[in-house]
Amino acid sequence: MSLASINGQQRVVIEKITPQLDGGRFPIKTITNEIVNVEADVFADGHDYIAVRLFHKHQNDKKWHESPMRLIGNDRYVGSFQTIHQGSYQYAVEGWVDHLASWQHEIELKLKDRQYVNVELLVGAAQLDGLAKRASKEDKKGILEVAKIFRAPDRYDEATMLATSKQLADWGAQYPERQGAVRSAELGVVVDRARAQFSTWYSMFPRSAAKQEGQHGTFRDVIDLLPRIERMGFDVLYLPPIHPIGTKFRKGKNNNVNCQPDEPGVPYGIGSELGGHDAIHPDLGTLADFKALVAACHQHGMEIAMDLAIQCSPDHPWARDHKDWFKIRPDGSIQYAENPPKKYQDIYPVNFETPDWQALWLELKRVIFAWAEWGVRIIRVDNPHTKSFGFWEWLISETKAVYPDMIFLAEAFTRPKVMQQLAKLGYAQSYTYYTWRNTKAELTEYLTELTKTDMRHYYRPNFWPNTHDINPPVLQSGHEPAFITRFFMAATLSSNYGIFGPTYEYMVHDVFPGKEEYLNSEKYEIKHWDWEHTNKLTYIITQINKIRKENEALQLTNNLNFCGIDNDQLIAYLKTHANGNRILCVVNLDGNNRQAGVVNVPVHLIGKNPDQEYRVHDLLTGAQYVWRGGQGYVELDPNIVPFHLFRIEDIW
Amino acid sequence: MSLASINGQQRVVIEKITPQLDGGRFPIKTITNEIVNVEADVFADGHDYIAVRLFHKHQNDKKWHESPMRLIGNDRYVGSFQTIHQGSYQYAVEGWVDHLASWQHEIELKLKDRQYVNVELLVGAAQLDGLAKRASKEDKKGILEVAKIFRAPDRYDEATMLATSKQLADWGAQYPERQGAVRSAELGVVVDRARAQFSTWYSMFPRSAAKQEGQHGTFRDVIDLLPRIERMGFDVLYLPPIHPIGTKFRKGKNNNVNCQPDEPGVPYGIGSELGGHDAIHPDLGTLADFKALVAACHQHGMEIAMDLAIQCSPDHPWARDHKDWFKIRPDGSIQYAENPPKKYQDIYPVNFETPDWQALWLELKRVIFAWAEWGVRIIRVDNPHTKSFGFWEWLISETKAVYPDMIFLAEAFTRPKVMQQLAKLGYAQSYTYYTWRNTKAELTEYLTELTKTDMRHYYRPNFWPNTHDINPPVLQSGHEPAFITRFFMAATLSSNYGIFGPTYEYMVHDVFPGKEEYLNSEKYEIKHWDWEHTNKLTYIITQINKIRKENEALQLTNNLNFCGIDNDQLIAYLKTHANGNRILCVVNLDGNNRQAGVVNVPVHLIGKNPDQEYRVHDLLTGAQYVWRGGQGYVELDPNIVPFHLFRIEDIW
């Protein structure tokens, strides 16, 4: 180790800064107007006092903001800063040996021991001379005056008073020496807008929005449905791809390879002679119609989520103009999608190993920026895990540099590490395994992983009890309590959730044999719905969405804490907000039998003593009970309402 | 993000490599001839197969060694390498998409589905062409022959057999394409000699080694004591500083500031007109005598540990020639040591913030290298936590670059993070809080931290029940069972331990009032011991050290597992070695009463079924018991022997 590469006078060590992802490789995530609490181990050799500061800076700030960090014990310091703006912040920790504070501490001990500290005062005077050089004009005068008193043998008593004064400490903190200061590496935070953390998704095929059966729905039809969707409490309207659909190898009803001439095809078979990812299916309307839909959504407090599926029908312009973006088979044809032994001749996957990857990336960026110009600020990405990680990191970073309000949702149902990586690379929200987590043990384990591990810092779950691709086993019976509880838990465990629209509301559940998919799936055919129809489930959805809007504890996910309950068919969880809002949910997972049990309420989390009374108020039914301390009895009949959504209220 | 800085064709991600300290900032530690098991999360987008390799390299190796890592589930791979030599190794993980293996997997599925794979065979043939370019002359021939068969329509059956053959997979692994390979950062391992991990320290003041009372002991006297120390089973002889002692402000008996003219002074008041850290106290002997002691130790299977105390008496040459290495007070005097309100006028601490730090560091390195030339290979550093961290990192690295067999022991009793940092920076062994951990709960918690957290990778504990500085409360009664159990636990919980020689053996325990120090401490005066005297404790020390040498399970620390036992006064722990050696220790922490209990033996760790019998054989007393399954009864009388040291033996 060459001495030339070392600053031998640096004595401070900074370690274990939290939050921190993979040694700073990835930023953490938060939203605007949140507090980021930063902790670090900071220490020096010996017994000197140290000063520790937190630095932070928004991407547009020219200068760093600096604030003190305070010791919380065991050489660990804590500080915080607020994320005001969208975009990205950097933060870092700096520390140095605080000679003035050390000197003050030592002289205090010596004075208590009645030692004569004349030499120590001279040492202090020299320190003050240095301090004065960094001070404001006014303070400089004051500081030099104190130095003078330290040097005046006849003002000893005055000097010892000043030596231990708060004024001196304040000056030291304001004009620190920073000699041998050590600075940590810079860490990042991506700051999204609030909807990244709290959103309520409604998914529907716009072509099924027609008022008359047999007609192809349009964006104008969707506009007419917005009051209904808004009334139900949704704020994101997610549409599967709206682009022209290819005809070559087009799939028919129920994925039939023999497509009838009048069948509409699958929206994921993107591209025809009418255009690709930047074109709109003519039967849905024009670009003007789409822009009108975007505007109408805004008027209803909602916004559109587009679907980015990076794949092509054989008729897509890219398949003609950019054959080298695909794998070419030895016979010269483009390699269609496969999941051996299955073949999907209607889909060409893009080859991210293409030597022409730069042109491919730029074209995909062009598509995203075109959508952004149309007014789109949420993009649900289809199967992101089959496209290269590096591409996503670049694309999301490029997009957010211009559109910091853009939200990307990863529709990845794959292995845990892959899903986590996508979130680390920049996805603001992510699909989850919730769809298949049914038992109390499964739910508890999975939610604990999401909310108590590192994942809390970068992985924002979006819970879907069903999707247009997935008809999960738990719902295949069509049993109403299952639909209610699966919806309810999605909406209360996670602050982001969504449903595949009328299919869910009306409890459609016919199974394609041998698959977790819908029979007569809407992916392959146009449906017609009676949008006026209401039922118990639509009522509950509407009420719960309203309650979510009124209770901030339900607008967070990481504030989740499970409560013990002495019945394996009952699951109970508490969510608390810093503003005092406290929500306790209890769910009967048994769709057939009434279940009862005693909830263990963690009283310290609701600000109560073990012998204090409080009210639990069911915000759906209006029922109210008075509980005392850490235990509360519940009884839930799945055929009435299979859950309690209690707000915890103080009794005055 | 500029596209120019990206390799867009790379698809593999490598994360969470273990072992790894603080993101690779520090190396882990091991000893020669050990296996390092490396794990990593490695994955790519999509469903392709990937190849994962572990690379490692000794500091003197020109080329990297490469070995495959295997998937153990959840995208986690494991591999290993052996540390043959002392010094440092680097390791790294590399991964790439394995197109040939992916192709083999897919064609296998298609063949099972009875698909006609003629086009796939042509794809494979092209891959084989690439493979052949990297192959040995012989294999090249074979590979091209297979490619030819893949392309021959009339040899279809033969081709499909070859396509799924192990031969093809082997060629793929031997001559991989490595296209878009991703390589992790390099991580480090420091490899020490075996004694860094297993050592038995005996500490004594050589000036107390004289045969006649009233005489100043010499190195020659120490040489005469070596057979006794060897017989007791020690292999490191640690000597407090052996340098000339200053006279200015010299301290007398019991730290008296009024020193009598004939008092010898404190060995830590280093330096006089006779020299400093590179000189030898003339009353101990000459440098030739010291070298004779080093040689004699080697003949007895032992070695010397020197004491590095970076501080000076006012008479030290540095205080004359390098005043700028110290803090200068306004009156021009050198600042003596203080721990306000206490003053230590006999000691000048070195100022590591000196602008002349480079000269200071080089002088200290010169001292260490001088000692190394004298034959010293173990250095116990006094209070390393009051010298700068950067200095230690540099000094240890510089020293080990030339003397990779040098072992540094940190005598730091301070805050946890500081002690940990010193170990991370290169100390091979470290003092611990064992000296003050007495109850079952304290011992269990502390040993769990040492052996089950990250500390296991870099912090090698050295347990001392007493030192010449510390007469701990638990021993101040002089009660024999306490001396026995504190010794026994040090020697069996930790593979490295030591005692402050005759003071411990003969259970000296007089307390300096108000301090955890010895009354009439040997630091301030010369003692005279009857080295022929033996007692129960010297017998037990001798036997336990012999048992440590014969049982490899006691030569490791991180192999510790506590066993449940239904009595808070009894503590039980198991140590197992890969060679089958299994040691179970049970200690009665109650020095006054017989205690009994039932040990829960973790049968899976001793290779037994819950209903299998085995023998527990007390290696000290010879007693043998047959236990069955997970429970064994013990009863220990502190006045007989307060512990069991069982070897677990199979019954055939």
* SS3 letters across A370-424: HHHHHCCCEEEEECHHHCCHHHHHHHHHHHHHHCCCCEEEEECCCCHHHHHHHHH
Q: What residues of B act catalytically?
A: 382, 411
Name chain B contacts of A43, Cβ cutoff 8 Å.
415, 417-418, 421
Is some CB atom of chain B closer than 8 A to the CB atom of A5? no
How many residues are present in chain A? 652
> Omega of the bond prior to B176 within 30 degrees of 0, cis?
no
CA distance linking residue B634 with residue B588, whole number of Å = 10
Q: Are B335 and B328 in contact (CB under 8 A)?
A: yes
> Nearest C-alpha of chain B: how many angstroms from A25?
10
Nearest to A110 among B122, B340, B361 (CB): B340
Nearest to A106 among B122, B340, B361 (CB): B340
Is some CB atom of chain B closer than 8 A to the CB atom of A16? yes
Q: Residue A606's pLDDT band (boundaries 50, 70, 90)?
A: very high
Q: Give per-residue pLDDT as tens, A449-480.
A: 999 999 999 999 999 999 999 999 999 999 99
**Using alpha carbons only, what angle is made at residue A56 by residues A52 and A62, rounded to the nearest 5 degrees?**
125
B549-564 b/e with 16+ CB inside 10 Å = b?
eebbbbbbbebbbbbe
Structure tokens at A482: 């299952």
Residues facing residue B201 across a β-bridge: B236, B498
Nearest to A421 among B10, B13, B74 (CB): B13
- The residue in chain B having the minimum alpha-carbon distance to the alpha carbon of residue A339 is B106
In this structure, is the dihedral angle defined by the CA atoms of residues B436, B439, B442 and B445, taken in order, positive or negative?
positive
Q: Are A146 and A66 in contact (CB under 8 A)?
A: no
> Nearest C-alpha of chain A: how many angstroms from B175?
20
A283 CB-contact burial (10 Å; exposed 0-12 / middle 13-18 / buried 19+):
middle
The low-confidence residues of chain B, meaning pLDDT below 50, are none
pLDDT at B652: 75
Phi, psi of A501 (to 5 degrees): -5, -120
Q: In terms of DSSP bridges, do strands A303-308 and A236-238 run parallel, antiparallel, or are they unpaired?
A: parallel
Is some CB atom of chain A closer than 8 A to the CB atom of B449? no
A96 CB-contact burial (10 Å; exposed 0-12 / middle 13-18 / buried 19+):
buried
Name chain A contacts of B110, Cβ cutoff 8 Å.
340-341
Is some CB atom of chain B closer than 8 A to the CB atom of A24? yes
Is some CB atom of chain A closer than 8 A to the CB atom of B357? yes
Q: Residue A508's pLDDT band (boundaries 50, 70, 90)?
A: very high
The DSSP result for B588-605, as a single string, is: E--SSS-EEEEEE--GGG
Nearest to A113 among B24, B341, B393 (CB): B341
> Nearest C-alpha of chain A: how many angstroms from B456?
17
Beta carbons of A8 and B388 less than 8 Å apart: yes
Is some CB atom of chain B closer than 8 A to the CB atom of A106? yes
Amino acid (one-letter) located at A209: A
- Which of 157-196 (B) contact A at CB < 8 A? 179-180
Q: Which of B45, B50, B356, B389 to mutate to test the interface with A (most CBs of A within 10 A)?
A: B45
Beta carbons of A22 and B15 less than 8 Å apart: yes
The candidate with the shortest Cα–Cα distance to B46, out of B95, B102, B94, is B102
Domains of chain A with CATH codes: 3-97+181-191 (2.60.40.10), 100-174 (1.20.58.80), 196-242+280-309+355-435+446-467+487-531 (3.20.20.80), 245-273+311-349 (no CATH), 560-650 (2.60.40.1180)
- Percentage of chain A beyond pLDDT 70 is 100
Q: Which of A45, A76, A103 to mutate to test the interface with B (most CBs of B within 10 A)?
A: A45
Beta carbons of B45 and A8 less than 8 Å apart: no
Nearest to A110 among B45, B331, B341 (CB): B341
Instruction: Tell me: pLDDT of A652 over 90.
Output: no
3-state helix/strand/coil string of B193-228: CHHHCCEEEEECCHHHCCCCCCCCCCHHHHHHHHHH
CA distance linking residue A329 with residue A347, whole number of Å = 15
Name chain B contacts of A338, Cβ cutoff 8 Å.
106
Nearest to B386 among A13, A46, A393 (CB): A46
A407 CB-contact burial (10 Å; exposed 0-12 / middle 13-18 / buried 19+):
buried
- Which of 29-88 (B) contact A at CB < 8 A? 41, 43, 45-47, 74-75
The candidate with the shortest Cα–Cα distance to B324, out of B334, B338, B314, is B334
| ipTM here | 0.95
pLDDT at B1: 79
In this structure, is the dihedral angle defined by the CA atoms of residues B474, B475, B479 and B485, taken in order, positive or negative?
positive
H-assigned helices in B257-312:
287-299
Name chain B contacts of A10, Cβ cutoff 8 Å.
388, 390
Is some CB atom of chain B closer than 8 A to the CB atom of A610? no
Collapsing DSSP states into helix, strand and coil, what is residue A152? coil
How many residues are present in chain B? 652
Structure tokens at A446: 């999975």
Residues facing residue B461 across a β-bridge: B430
Beta carbons of A47 and B339 less than 8 Å apart: yes
> Nearest C-alpha of chain A: how many angstroms from B471?
23
Q: Which of B388, B394, B395, B453 to mutate to test the interface with A (most CBs of A within 10 A)?
A: B388
Collapsing DSSP states into helix, strand and coil, what is residue B122? helix
pLDDT at A627: 97
pLDDT at B2: 87
**In 10 A of CB B513, how many CB atoms?**
6
Is some CB atom of chain B closer than 8 A to the CB atom of A340? yes
Beta carbons of B341 and A388 less than 8 Å apart: no
Structure tokens at B101: 């293996």
B569 CB-contact burial (10 Å; exposed 0-12 / middle 13-18 / buried 19+):
buried
Mean pLDDT of A114-118: 95
Beta carbons of B122 and A330 less than 8 Å apart: yes
Beta carbons of B45 and A115 less than 8 Å apart: no
Inter-CA distances, A151 with A112, A148, A223, B335, Å: 21, 5, 82, 19
CA distance linking residue A485 with residue A620, whole number of Å = 14
Name chain A contacts of B43, Cβ cutoff 8 Å.
415, 417-418, 421
Q: Give per-residue pLDDT as tens, A295-342.
A: 999 999 999 999 999 999 999 999 999 999 999 999 899 999 999 889
pLDDT at A2: 87
B7 CB-contact burial (10 Å; exposed 0-12 / middle 13-18 / buried 19+):
exposed
Please report which helix (H) or strand (E) contains residue A497, including its range: strand A496-500
Beta carbons of A358 and B385 less than 8 Å apart: no
> Nearest C-alpha of chain B: how many angstroms from A362?
9
Name chain B contacts of A185, Cβ cutoff 8 Å.
none
pLDDT at B250: 97
- Which of 385-404 (B) contact A at CB < 8 A? 385-391, 393-394, 397-398
pLDDT at B484: 98
Residues facing residue A54 across a β-bridge: A67, A93
Mean pLDDT of A516-529: 97
CA distance linking residue A394 with residue A371, whole number of Å = 17
Nearest to A23 among B7, B23, B47 (CB): B23
Is some CB atom of chain B closer than 8 A to the CB atom of A415? yes
